[in-house]
Amino acid sequence: MARIGFVGLGIMGAPMSANLAKAGHQVTGYNRTPGKAGPLVSAGGRSAESLAAAVTDADVIALMLPDSSDVEAVLRGPSGVFDLAAEGSLLIDFSSINPGVARQLAVEAREHGLRMLDAPVSGGEMGAVEGVLSIMVGGDIKDFESAESIFSAVGKTVVFVGPSGSGQTVKVANQLIVAGAIELLAEAIVFLEASGADMPSALRVLGGGLAGSTVLDRKGAAMLARDYAPGFRLELHDKDLNNFMEAAQDVGVVAPLGALVSQLVRSLKARGLGHLDHSALLSLVELLSGGEKPA
């Protein structure tokens, strides 16, 4: 069992750190804003008053932070993890950040005598609470194998996908496909409703053929009901799509549908709707098509 410093006890980090403690690890959690350690402490972990107190004596330092800039701020600088961590310790970044930044941070970690894996997750708050996240891991495969007891405590489908940055690369590709699938389903639903089709039957037959998808299975009924309670917020999806577009540009890949759906998600955020579930892409198709759902 490992001594784990867990940085970032938000919606995802709090239950993940608690699951690590329940699995028998010695977990010390730190969050910049205090008062977030309840789930971890209830599970047998400890709450640290400072970043240093959480990470100085840890074998494994786990991060679960909102975006690239947050991870960079916690790692770099005179009072950052790169300076505080004991030599040879393993950093696991569960955050979803820019793949290029992840690659650069792994280089800097090595320069500080540390090992680093990028390990973004999917599966949402429910997946985090139940310890059944999908985790896409990039880095050195030996470091991946050494962390098996960590990953198995928080994830169900844990896949090593290549060198440093690859976890983030697969995560942004995942977010491209998910946003696009939601938009396609939204366009189909608005079109089918306007055409007078019987909607539950239509979605049933669509789901049974080549048009079937996990998005249709999990989001179709809520989209018919215009229930946009998150779920996964548009503003987070906007961040992920921005990371996809930057990473695609970095490797010279042109992604026409990716660019368009990014623009649609961003426009909803700009309209102040970033707090809604990403399935609210449907509301923009309705707006473009001149109105609400026909009565």
Q: Does 166 bind its own copies (CB under 8 A)?
A: yes
Stretch that binds its own copies, among 62-70, 86-94, 144-152, 199-207 (CB under 8 A): 199-207
Q: Does 215 bind its own copies (CB under 8 A)?
A: yes
Q: Residue 251 burial (CB < 10 Å; 0-12/13-18/19+)?
A: exposed
Q: Residue 127 burial (CB < 10 Å; 0-12/13-18/19+)?
A: buried
Q: Does 194 bind its own copies (CB under 8 A)?
A: yes
Footprint of its own copies on 126-165 (CB under 8 A): 134, 136, 157, 159-163, 165
Q: What is the SS3 assignment for 209?
A: coil
Smallest distance, Å, CB 243 to its own copies? Answer: 12
Smallest distance, Å, CB 226 to its own copies? Answer: 16
Smallest distance, Å, CB 203 to its own copies? Answer: 9
171 is catalytic: yes
Name the nearest CA neighbour of 176 among 245, 123, 226, 126: 245
Stretch that binds its own copies, among 59-67, 70-78, 144-152, 259-267 (CB under 8 A): 259-267
H or E element: which one contains 156?
Answer: strand 155-162
Q: Does 102 bind its own copies (CB under 8 A)?
A: no
Q: Which is nearer to its own copies, 192 or 236 (CB)?
A: 192
Q: Are 252 and 292 in contact (CB under 8 A)?
A: no
Q: What is the SS3 assignment for 95?
A: coil
Q: Which is nearer to its own copies, 23 or 194 (CB)?
A: 194
Q: Are 240 and 171 in contact (CB under 8 A)?
A: yes
Q: Which is nearer to its own copies, 261 or 273 (CB)?
A: 261
Q: Which residues pair with 6 in a beta bridge?
A: 29, 62
Q: Does 262 bind its own copies (CB under 8 A)?
A: no
Close Cβ partners of 267 (under 8 Å, ≥ 6 residues apart) = 284
Q: Does 273 bind its own copies (CB under 8 A)?
A: no
Catalytic residue among 36, 142, 156, 171: 171
Q: How wide is the angle at C-alpha 170 spanned by C-alphas 164 and 171, nearest 5°?
A: 105
- Is the backbone of residue 145 left (phi > 0), alpha (psi -120 to 50) or beta? alpha
Kindly list the catalytic residues.
171
Chain contacts with its own copies (rule: CB under 8 A): 99, 122-123, 134, 136, 157, 159-163, 165-166, 169-170, 173-174, 176-178, 180-181, 183-185, 187-188, 190-192, 194-198, 201-202, 204-206, 208-215, 218, 244, 247-248, 251-258, 260-261, 264, 285, 288-290
